[in-house]
Each structure stands twice: as C-alpha cells, then as structure tokens.
Amino acid sequence: MSDTAAVLDRFLAAWSRRDLAGVVDCLATDVVYSSSDGSVVRGREAVGAVFAEQLDGDPDLEIEPVAVRGERGFGYFSYPAAADDTTLRGVDVYTVRDGLIVAKDVLSKIA
C-alpha cells in the first residue's frame, strides 16, 4: 500500500469513528483546506477546528473509498436526501506528502 493510500485510510477510518485526534494526526502542520464555498483555511490547528465542527454534523454522511493516483486521493461523498428532497454530493481531493495530508479540496453541489 502506498503512503497516500495508507494515510487516507487512517484519515477516513478516524473520520468514521468521529475521532478528531486521529483525523488531525493525519494532517501536515501547514495543511490547506479549501471548501466549495470558496473559503480557505490554513494550518493544522485551524483545519482541525473546522473538522471538529464537521464531525459534529450529520451522522448519515456516506463516504466511498478513495481512489489513489500518486500523491493524490479522490473520494466521493453524499448525504441522504433532505426534507426538500435535495442531496449534497461532492468529491474530496487530497494531496499527500511525506505520509501526511497537505491539502484537502472539496468540490460539492446540491442536487
């Protein structure tokens, strides 16, 4: 298993357990998180704070296994349909270097 696949497996396993410490342990100190709304958060502590809020969110988030190509990982996610019958769907794009996530870009839409 590549370093990229290994760290993303650890990251997603920690995410599924809602284990913030495990999630943050997978992040580089200078990690950059870019959201679909255009916001950018930099640094392990700041990104960890964003992830803490997300981990408290909807427990019905569905995350599919990540496909890996070199230092990049790509994963699909979705939420069950909301009361208005819309669904948030998206793709996470990860960049891994030296066994840690250095970037997570989120591309999502409501359908």
The 10s digit of each residue's pLDDT in 68-91 is 999 999 999 998 888 898 888 999
pTM of the model: 0.91
Round the average pLDDT of the chain to a whole number and report it.
92
| pLDDT number for residue 68 | 96
Least confident interval from 40-54, 70-84, 97-111? 70-84
DSSP conformation class of 43: S
CATH of the domain at 61: 3.10.450.50
Domain that holds residue 27: 3-110
Helix (H, G, I), strand (E, B) or coil at 50: helix
60: left (phi over 0), alpha (psi -120 to 50) or beta: alpha
| Strands 62-63 and 67-69, sheet pairing | unpaired
Count of domains observed in the chain:
1
